[in-house]
Structure 1
């Protein structure tokens, strides 16, 4: 009986050692993968910083002013003036959509641009 108990204990210890060995390597692989991801994130943050610096450099007011002056004949860009702004009450909004008499969807009555895909007919459920 003792020998069976010793054999069983030895097998359990060997099984636990094998499990711990596998978990150790799986943990090391996960840590390595995490460090690779962290390295990628760091590289992407550096790239983002470079892109933001380039964007700030390209959007300098003096550079944009020079571009506007060079292309004034085509763009005709001028500074904003106070008389270009209007009160909200002066904006012509479209009239509100009235629902159909048969209780249909008001969205079906809104005019659509010619390039917009046609509406699909609604399927009736029995």
Structure 2
């Protein structure tokens, strides 16, 4: 009986060791994958920072002004001046529509009716 108990215990210990060994490798693989994703995120953030810097460089007002002057014949763009802007009181708003009258009764349901 004692031999059987030792044998079962040894098999249980070996099984648990095998399971722990597999879990260790799966954990290491998951950590490697997480590190790779972190590196990719860092690389994409750096790329985004470069793209934002390029966008800011390409949209410099002096550069855009020079481009507008160079292509005036084909585009007809004029530089922005304060006269191009209006005041709020110069905006014409649409008149409210009077055809939204409701005739008769309107049934309204609430949550109690739905249950």
With normalisation by structure 2, the TM-score equals 0.72
Question: Which structure 2 residue ranges, 5 or more long, are not aligned?
Answer: 107-115
Query: Corresponding residue for 1:80?
Result: 81
Which structure 1 residue ranges, 4+ long, deviate > 4 Å from structure 2?
A: none
Q: Does 1:16 align with 2:20?
A: no
- What are structure 1's unaligned runs of at least 5 residues? 105-126
Distance 2:9 2:71 in 1: 87
- Which residue does 2:110 correspond to in 1? none
Counterpart residue number, 1:116 = none
Q: So what's the TM-score if we normalise by structure 1?
A: 0.67
Which SS does the other structure have where 1:46 is aligned?
Answer: helix
Number of residues paired by the alignment? 103
1:27-106 equivalences under 5 Å are 27-73=27-73, 74-81=75-82, 84-87=85-88, 89-97=89-97, 98=100, 100-101=102-103
Structure possessing the higher relative contact order (Cα contacts under 8 Å, 6 or more residues apart): 2
